């Protein structure tokens, strides 16, 4: 389900959300119109009052889900900055290594940074991302071997130890960024959010028709507004597949500075 949400075009999800919520409203209006044409009961009047608490519950769920999505988005953005800083520190300390090690590690850091830049649309489970992760791990191994060889050749030299320390931090941050990318809001939360919205607007349409107060244009405006808010919450939780993406400039700045 997460893969479908990540890979599907945002406009498709947006239109599908509006159609589902609008369909619930139209069904409620049709039922209310049919009940109004027949004899209404006390139960009908009770049902017509459930729109307000349902919309209140919907607002609570949206606020809760928005908080979850926003915190995860901020964690991903922070992880990019942390990784850029870690790569930059390791690359600078790599320059302090004696030859031929300093020359050998310099192009590896540039390639590694380019691999860590995630392009829009490259979701975590895609073949392109999987290959980038595989190559990143291979470069980490190459850099570690260069650092170990430099340490073995000059065990008393401080730069070798500093390089190993910075490289270890870079490897740790790599895993932290992967964990942040995988930490998404469970899809069942969005399913429940859409379900509550459909029911809430169904009650609203039912109540308006039962009271013989048609307001189709106003209700559809509310449907579009609610669908837009739900889409925004969902888009924040899509690391690479949505309209709102994590800024990659910290990594791009490192690449541009090492050309």
Peptide bond just before 47 cis, omega within 30 deg = no
pLDDT > 70 in the chain, percent: 90
Burial class of 110 by CB neighbour count within 10 A (0 to 12, 13 to 18, 19+): middle
Rg, Å, the chain Cα set: 27
Three-state DSSP string of the chain: CHHHHHHCCHHHHHHHHHHHHHHHHHHHHHHHHHHHHCCCCHHHHHHHCCHHHHHHHHHHHHHHHHHHHHHHHHHHHHHHHHHHHHHHHHHHHHCCCCCCHHHHHHHHHHHHHHHHCCCCCCCCCCHHHHHHHHHHHHHHHHHHHHHHHHHHHCCCCHHHHHHHHHHHHHHHHHHHHHHHHHCCCCHHHHHHHHHHHHHHHHHHHHHHHHCCCCCHHHHHHHHHHHHHHHHHHHHHCCCCCCCCCCCCHHHHHHHHHCC
pLDDT-derived band of residue 176, with 50, 70 and 90 as boundaries?
Answer: very high
**Six-digit token string for 242:** 């949505």
Instruction: Quickly tell me which residue has 């009052």 as its tokens.
Output: 49
Taking Cα atoms as reference points, which of 25, 75, 6 lies closest to residue 198?
25
- The arithmetic mean of pLDDT across residues 21-42, rounded, is 83
State the Cα torsion 221-227-228-230 to the nearest 10°. Answer: 150
* Cα distance between residue 123 and residue 190, in whole Å: 19
Domain ranges (residues) in the chain? 2-257
pLDDT-derived band of residue 44, with 50, 70 and 90 as boundaries?
Answer: low
Q: What is the pLDDT of residues 203-249, one digit of tens each?
A: 888 888 887 777 778 889 999 999 999 988 988 887 666 678 888 88
Q: Taking 60 as the threshold, does the pLDDT of residue 88 lie above it?
A: yes
Q: What is the pLDDT of residues 147-165, one digit of tens each?
A: 999 888 877 677 888 899 9
* Cα distance between residue 94 and residue 91, in whole Å: 5
**Six-digit token string for 229:** 């808010």
Q: How high is the pLDDT of residue 215?
A: 79
């Amino acid at each position: 389900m997460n893969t479908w949400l990540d890979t599907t075009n945002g406009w498709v999800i947006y239109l599908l959300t509006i159609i589902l919520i609008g369909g619930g409203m139209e069904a409620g209006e049709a039922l209310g119109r049919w009940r109004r044409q027949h004899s209404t009961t006390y139960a009908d009047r009770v049902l017509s009052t459930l729109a307000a608490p349902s919309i209140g519950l919907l607002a609570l769920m949206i606020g809760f889900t928005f908080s979850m999505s926003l915190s995860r988005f901020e964690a991903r953005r922070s992880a990019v900055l942390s990784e850029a800083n870690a790569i930059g520190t390791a690359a600078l300390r790599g320059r302090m290594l004696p030859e031929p090690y300093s020359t050998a590690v310099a192009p590896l850091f540039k390639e590694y940074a380019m691999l860590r830049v995630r392009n829009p649309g490259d979701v975590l489970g895609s073949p392109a991302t999987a290959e980038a992760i595989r190559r990143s791990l291979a470069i980490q191994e190459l850099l570690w071997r260069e650092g170990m060889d430099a340490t073995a050749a000059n065990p008393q030299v401080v730069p070798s130890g500093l390089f190993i320390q910075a490289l270890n931090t870079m490897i740790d941050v790599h895993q932290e960024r992967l964990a942040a990318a995988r930490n998404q809001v469970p899809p069942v939360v969005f399913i429940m959010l859409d379900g509550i919205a459909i029911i809430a607007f169904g009650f609203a349409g039912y109540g308006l028709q039962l009271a013989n107060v048609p307001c189709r244009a106003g209700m559809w405006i509310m449907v579009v507004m609610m669908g837009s808010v739900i889409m925004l919450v969902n888009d924040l939780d899509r690391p690479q597949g949505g309209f709102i993406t994590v800024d990659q400039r910290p990594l791009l700045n490192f690449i541009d500075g090492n050309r």
